[in-house]
Amino acid sequence: MSQVVVSPTTRHEGRSKLVLEVDDNGIVTQGNYLSTTPVRGFEKFITGKAMEFAPVASSRFCGICPITHATASSESIERALGIMPPKDGLVLRQLCNLGNRLHSHPLHELLILPDFVKDPNAAMAATVRIQKMRKIGQGIVDITGGEAIHAPNIRIGGMQKNISEAAKRKIIQMLNDYEPLMKEQVDFMLKTLKGNTEVPKKLGVHDRELMATDVNYGNSDVFETEYFYRFSEITPKSYYPGDIGLEACTSIPLIGGRTVEGGPRARLVKYKGFSQKDCGDFDVRGAMAINIARAMEIPLAHARARELIQQLDTTKPTLTKPPESGGDGKTLGVAANEAPRGVNVHTAKVKDGKITYYNCLVATTWNIPTVGKACEGQHYKWAEYVVRAYDPCVSCATHMIVLKEGKVVKEAMI
């Protein structure tokens, strides 16, 4: 028995490491995956600030998921205040989120290309398609959200302003331009993934619960009724063996006392009947199935974006003004938004217009401990394939401070 450490893991957002116990044949007997991205303390410095600051600050968690963070943040405060955006505000907000997914999913395919595509010409052609798809996805976010990265139009109460008829026609054209690129790329990736003969068929198989609230946007009511009452959270020191947890920068969220998996496979299994027949020879419970499900989600997001842009009435209001009272400080607003890589949950309390409590359980936070478990039973050389299948956005998933000068000074969620 020996230990293999992969640090940092590569081709994902943020910094993380694998600590693997392996047997004499290199087979992983215990897998530990942990975030080592430095803590930035967003939740603490949001607390006490004006509520309008929360979606602005939380969208700065990272540059990959800013839209879902601004959305979940706004909705958590809306639910704490008891308000709802107008119908067209919700349509525009969902469209903004889909623009992000139409950019983010192809980006993930760019990151895994070296794992599966050995022909340099095929890889170059895919890279060109992907970059064109990303540009269109970001363009939709730019038009609907006001900026491609940290969209200022996402506000508490909906969207700051509606778009023009000319902008609506522009988005329709952009979705038309996206379609042939998407068809070629999705077909290419599905053939590439299912046709792979080197990756173990059961790579990344685990028995953890799949967690999802919606196919595309997210449903906070589903999260509250199906998951939140079973939710608990422990410190990394309590979860990881030995001193491994002292390096970890995330809490460990649990549903029913166990880790879970969110993301493309969870969404498609729960809402679209994704099953073994979609995965070729690869196990539907494994890492390759996640890559396949992610490719299959792109056309679903594109179709939903087309529906939404047709539904949008550009003459209608998109913003509900928050109440003058500014919250009672008691009601906990719980919001779940489906980020490209899993369920992004923000919770907030507001009193007199200021944040009195704020906590985030972002998509990768849920997946991190499950990734470690999913590495077990295979040779350690495949462990990074498992990590990348989850498309981790690790910078979003840091909100734990337990160390001072290398020693634990407090075991608490902050």
Helices (H) and strands (E) in the chain, counts: 12, 14
pLDDT tens string 334-347: 999 999 999 999 99
The full set of domain ranges for the chain reads: 2-316+328-396
Known binding residue 65? Answer is yes
pLDDT tens string 16-50: 999 999 999 999 999 999 998 877 788 888 999 99
The b/e string for 244-274 (b: 16+ C-beta within 10 A; e otherwise) is bbeebbbbbbbbeeebbbbbbbbbbbbeeeb
Quick check: bond before 120 cis, omega within 30? no
Known binding residue 360? Answer is no
Q: Which DSSP symbol is given to 160?
A: S
Q: How far is CA 173 from the centre of its chain?
A: 27
Q: Which DSSP symbol is given to 105?
A: H
Q: What integer pLDDT is reported at residue 413 of this predicted model?
A: 45
> Which mean pLDDT values do the consecutive 10-residue runs of the chain (414 residues) have?
93 92 97 88 89 94 90 98 98 98 97 96 98 98 94 97 98 98 98 97 97 97 97 92 88 96 98 98 98 98 98 98 93 97 97 95 95 97 98 78 56 46
Q: Specify the 3-state DSSP secondary structure of 114.
A: helix
CA angle, 360 then 265 then 213, to 5°: 45
pLDDT tens string 91-130: 999 999 999 999 999 999 999 999 999 999 999 999 999 9
Q: What integer pLDDT is reported at residue 401 of this predicted model?
A: 55
pLDDT tens string 56-66: 999 998 888 99
Known binding residue 62? Answer is yes
Known binding residue 393? Answer is yes
How many whole angstroms separate alpha carbon 218 and alpha carbon 302? 16
Known binding residue 249? Answer is no
Question: Residue 345, class by beta-carbon neighbours within 10 Å (0-12 exposed, 13-18 middle, 19+ buried)?
Answer: buried
Q: Is the pTM of the predicted complex or chain greater than 0.85?
A: yes
Q: What integer pLDDT is reported at residue 286 of this predicted model?
A: 98
Domain 2-316+328-396 belongs in CATH node 3.30.310.80:
no
Q: Which residues contact 277 (CB under 8 A, 6 or more apart)?
A: none
Query: First and final CA of the chain: distance in angstroms?
Result: 36
Q: What integer pLDDT is reported at residue 38 of this predicted model?
A: 78
Q: What integer pLDDT is reported at residue 237 of this predicted model?
A: 87
